[in-house]
Amino acid sequence: MKKIMFLVLIALGLNSCESNWLPKPPGYNRIDLPRHQYQRLEQGYPYQLDFSTHSIVEADSFNLTEKEWINLNYRNFGAKVHLTYKKIDQNTDFKTLSNDAFKLTAKHQIKAYGIEEGILLTPNGYVAVVAELSGEVPTQFQFLVTDSTSNFLRGAVYFNTALKNDSLAPIIEYIKLDMAHLINSVTFQKK
């Protein structure tokens, strides 16, 4: 009886080892996104806007002389929205600012599969230009909001990760909705 049990165990052991074993395909982490909620930017800037409560406002450390430049830091998502503001006056004209914004977007054409641009009118009467970039680019969404005479606000979304954009797709879409709300809420201070 013991010999039979021993032979059965050996047979089962040899039978259970197959050479057709394949590793599981790579998966992506599950991303649970919070509800969209917004708060108004505190006073002290020449513009006001609604930004996500899931981001925090930080001074832009890239150019400390520009006090109106800020970052909206989405720490939980590893993303930042860089907001740069310029006053349109005799030293800085609208054409130069808009050309610079379009050049910054065009620099991504090397890696981008496509760039979709759209022009819209915000509820507050400002013109906004939105650029959505697809492909393995460092910024997937850029925009500008202007009154064309006195104020120019530009924004770009950046991620602090080297992950493929397809794995970031849910977060990119989430932040794009936040940016759409931000764009539609922008107001500039009157002179």
Residue ranges of the chain with per-residue pLDDT less than 70 = 12-30, 102, 104-115, 135-138, 162-166, 191
The whole-angstrom separation of Cα 98 and Cα 78 is: 28
CATH architecture, range 40-188: 3-Layer(aba) Sandwich (3.40)
Encode pLDDT of 37-50 as tens digits. Answer: 999 998 889 999 99
3-state DSSP call for residue 98?
helix
Q: Could you tell me the pTM of the whole model?
A: 0.77
The whole-angstrom separation of Cα 47 and Cα 146 is: 11
- Both tokens of 56, joined, read 């925090």
